[in-house]
Amino acid sequence: MNQNGLRLFKYLLLPLLLALVSGNAFAQFGLDTKSYRSDYGISYAAPVEYTIAGVNVVGAQFNDKNALINIAGFKVGDKIKIPGEDISNAIKKLWRLGIVGDVSISVSEIKGSDVYLQIELSERPKLSKYSFEGIPKGQASTLEDKINLMRGRIVTDPMLKNSVNIIQKHYAEKGFKNCEVKVIKEKDPVLSNSIILKFVVNKKKKVKIDEIKLDGVEQIEEKVVKRKMKKTKEKRFYRIFTPSKFILEEYETDKANVIDFYNEEGYRNAQIVRDTVIDIIVDEKEMVRVEMEIDEGQRFYIRDINWVGNYKYTDEQLAAVLGFKKGDVYNKSELETRLTFNPQGRDVSALYMDDGYLFSRITPVEVLVEEDSIDIEMRVSEGEQTSISKILVSGNTKTSDHVIHREVRTLPGDKFNRSLLIRTQRELMQMGYFNPETIGINPLPNMSTGTVDIAYSLEEKPNDQIELSGGWGGFYGFVGTVGLVFNNFSLRNVGDFSKWRPLPSGDGQQLSLRVQANGKVYQTYSLSFVEPWLGGRKPNSLSVSFQYSVERLFDASNNVTGSLGIGGITVGLGRRLTWPDDWFTMSNSISYRIYNLDNFRATGFGSYDTGRSYNLAFNTTFARNSVDNPTYPRQGSQMQLQISLTPPYSVFSDKDFSDPEITNDDRFKLVEYHKWMFDNFWYQKLVGDLVLATRAHLGFLGSYNDEKGLGPFERFILGGDGITYQNYLLGTETIGLRGYPNGSIIPPSTNGEGGTVYNKYVLELRYPVSLNPSATIYVQGFAEAGNNWATFNEFNPFDLKRSAGFGARIFMPAFGMLGIDWGYGFDDVPGTGNIGGSQFHFTIGQTFR
């Protein structure tokens, strides 16, 4: 601009712009500029200082006028410049209050150096109540929690806009992309200065995806790329579990999933160069078409890996654990997983951290990228070995510290060991006292001392259980059950009534009581106690249990015609093993039972109806358990081998059991058998929390003397839920087989006594609905097969009774595991000529087999 132009701007345009700006500014704050100039000679170029002589408020009906004047900052006797910043600041203060709508401040009168101000405002109404239209009551309740509007709150435009946005976002997340929300304001006829809000919601139809169009996809099949978009799917009639709906947030996540997939396949430079979502109409329905252009780039391979800075381990040792070799596809994500934390196996950092090198770091650096090859340099910083200083435990409000500390495998003074941290976490889960989903481990390193404190954060969960149930027990009619299980009992505090809540707890012991009865016909009582750490120094468990049952037979006149009484006691000792590995345990027990039959002529006992039998058995159990979570296992396995042996009395007896004259009382007075039970569980996480659970079970009952036989003791019965069938002798093993009636799979030749050989296979697909510790819920589909044989010679592992179905499990700490299953049996029920067919099964408690 030349000099003449500058002069013109200075003398003509600049004053005009200043006047416009000043006028706009004062108009914004509501000043009556005309009255200032004409009546009081106010000039914006020459502000005048006045003394506030009075302030009047117009329009305030429900708010205190003096409070509003104080908030504005006006005080009689204060000095104020007009025009000036004091007026604009006062308006800002009133606006920030949020209770006024329009506000203006003007001069009502000037007397000499005194000025009288007037504040004119409109008050915003308060919220009386609000409601929703166009949606079901349940959805309205959900939205109430989300928008969280408080009655009596001032209604502002931002509040309304925020509420509408929350509602639209809520439905957009469910696929209603075009949801419309209209807000209707109605004056409350009862409360003054209050309004009623009505949110009219029109969800419209879910917006589905008609087509996903991919451009630039050449190296990988389009269907494979589309499969990596977990939530963004095209509408297809066969898609049931992943329905097509467009949700922007999930779409953005799926775009990242596509790029991650390309990176995992070696396309390190892959990118989405363009994508767009187009609204279309298909068959008069609102849908979208997703278009995406992908630049795949070059696929890269590993050419060389060099290790730098490693002294503890050689290059060969580290490379063997890493598992990558020359020519492998370059997968940066998998490379970092094998370096830092590999959930599927060993990783390089574990070599160091399991030997105390907590501060070790391994950084992969791409030192050369040439054509399709990458050279990687592994820069290792080993640091110093770290020892554990202190163990800190928090969150255990019920369980005693010593109960937790005895399960901790990271002891003060030991070298830091990451694997033992993970193992400790698993042991704390297995206790069942804490929420397994929230158990936290936090190493707190101290660089100056070269030590680390380990902080375990826990969240107690209820774990005592009560069983109150009633059911139809077939022969017995209605059977009622009352059971109590105290899983964190404290025997040493029984005498201290101040620690009864409702019973003394916190020492990790288990006390169980159970009563089941149907009047005089059937009663059973049991009491058991388990101390998992006998002496408190080693995990050697002591268990003691007592049991008594009685069953009576009646005639038509309700007179007792026969009875069976059974009493028994079992004492056991268990310990953890370190071989073959420290997942193994071994327990031994001795059980003693007395069977007293008095004219007890019942199905399953053959011709043995009167006499007294004694069963003294030595039982040993080898078990291995590496399951990660006792309530909802995702990975790991369980194996158990149980062996029960009675003394071989008949071997040393001079009785001839082949003699047909020998009585059943003599034949079965001393019960003898050898019994073998094997159970195996395996859990594998498939995708997310979807778990495949497989099981195999096998049982065999043998005799020392074929001439004496086994009698009706300790046999196997299959069918149903596995727990509701009332077996006549407590030693009978009841094994569930869904899709068949309870207790129906019995070899016909045994006359109801039960088989001596059985096997069973189960496959389940599980998915959790809720992992909340107060109510863990999961659904499952299953297929299983099993059978029961009278003798080992008849055993055929491929002659199975098959079934399939689905069900659900609910674990509540107060009641244990509750379940319902529907199963369909495909094969014949022995002795009936009918297939198992459709069956519903209800379970209480965790059935092992």
- The amino acid occupying position 449 is T
Which carries the bigger pLDDT value, residue 537 or residue 35?
A: 537
Q: How far apart are CA 262 and CA 75, in angstroms?
A: 70
> pLDDT value at position 20?
36
pLDDT band at 730 (very low <50, low <70, confident <90, very high): low
Q: Are 102 and 121 in contact (CB under 8 A)?
A: yes
**In this structure, what DSSP letter does residue 774 have?**
T
Residues 6 or more apart whose Cβ sits within 8 Å of residue 123 = 59, 60, 61, 62, 63, 99, 100, 101, 193
725 secondary structure, DSSP code: S
Here the tokens at position 829 are 């029920």
Mean pLDDT score of the chain: 85
Confirm if 486 and 514 have CB atoms less than 8 A apart. Answer: no
- The pLDDT tens digits for 548-591 are 999 888 888 888 999 889 999 999 999 999 889 989 999 999 99
Written as six digits, the tokens of 368 are 């050369």
Read off the pLDDT band of 477 (50, 70, 90): low
In the chain, % of residues over pLDDT 70? 89
pLDDT single digits (tens) 607-626: 788 889 999 999 999 999 99
Residues in the chain: 849
The arithmetic mean of pLDDT across residues 516-540, rounded, is 88
- The pLDDT tens digits for 642-671 are 999 999 998 888 888 888 888 888 888 999
Residue 847: the pLDDT is 55
Q: Where residue 14 falls among pLDDT bands split at 50, 70, 90?
A: very low
pLDDT of 190 > 90? The answer is: no
How far is the C-alpha of 37 from the C-alpha of 48, rounded, in Å? 13
Residues 6 or more apart in contact with residue 835 via CB below 8 angstroms: 825, 826, 827, 828, 829
Among 35-44, 296-305, 456-465, the range of highest mean pLDDT:
296-305
Task: Please state, in angstroms and rounded to a whole number, the distance separating the CA atoms of residues 621 and 645.
Answer: 12
Contacts of 19 by beta carbon, 8 Å cutoff, 6+ apart: none
For the chain, the C-alpha Rg in angstroms (whole number) is 40
- 35 confidence band (pLDDT: 50, 70, 90): very low
The pLDDT value given to residue 188: 85
Domains, the chain, with CATH or none = 3-123 (3.10.20.310), 126-202 (3.10.20.310), 208-295 (3.10.20.310), 301-381 (3.10.20.310), 387-457 (3.10.20.310), 598-614+631-849 (2.40.160.50)
Q: What is the pLDDT of residues 147-165, one digit of tens each?
A: 888 888 888 888 889 999 9
Does the pLDDT value for residue 725 go beyond 50? no
Residue 714, C-beta contacts closer than 8 angstroms, at least 6 positions apart: 644, 671, 673, 675, 701, 729, 731, 732, 733
pLDDT, tens digit, for every residue of 769-788?
Answer: 988 877 889 999 999 999 99
pLDDT at 231 over 50: yes
Q: Are strands 716-718 and 387-394 parallel, antiparallel or unpaired?
A: unpaired
Q: Percent of the chain at pLDDT above 90?
A: 48
Q: Is the peptide bond before 83 cis (omega within 30 degrees of 0)?
A: yes
Q: What is the pLDDT of residue 389?
A: 95
Q: Which amino acid is at 187?
A: K
Lowest mean pLDDT among 192-201, 237-246, 480-489: 237-246
Q: What are phi and psi of 14, to 5 degrees?
A: -60, -50
Is 50 exceeded by the pLDDT of residue 211? yes
65 pLDDT more than 80: no
Quickly state the pLDDT bin for 745 (edges 50, 70, 90): very high
Average pLDDT over residues 57-85: 79
pLDDT higher for 28 or 343?
A: 343
The answer to whether 348 and 318 have CB atoms below 8 angstroms apart is: yes
How does residue 42 score in pLDDT terms, banded at 50, 70 and 90? low
What is the reported pLDDT for 789?
95
Sign, CA torsion 819/824/830/831: positive
pTM of the model: 0.67
Q: How far apart are CA 626 and CA 635, in angstroms?
A: 8
Q: Given this model, what pLDDT does residue 727 score? A: 46
Predicted confidence at residue 88, as pLDDT, reads 82
The 3-state DSSP class for residue 734 equals strand
Mean pLDDT, residues 783-807 taken together: 94
> How many helices (DSSP H) and strands (DSSP E) are in the chain?
16, 34
Which pLDDT score is estimated for 9? Answer: 41
Amino acid letter, 524: T
pLDDT band, very low/low/confident/very high, at 737 (cuts 50, 70, 90): very high
Which tokens go with 750? 């045994």
The average pLDDT across 288-310 equals: 94
pLDDT at 3 over 60: no
| Calpha distance 117→690 (Å, rounded) | 72
pLDDT tops 90 at residue 145: no
Using CA atoms, how far apart are residues 618 and 673, in angstroms rounded to an integer? 11
- What is the rounded distance in angstroms from the CA atom of residue 152 to the CA atom of residue 163? 16
> Region 218-239: what's the mean pLDDT?
88
Give the per-residue pLDDT at 723: 62
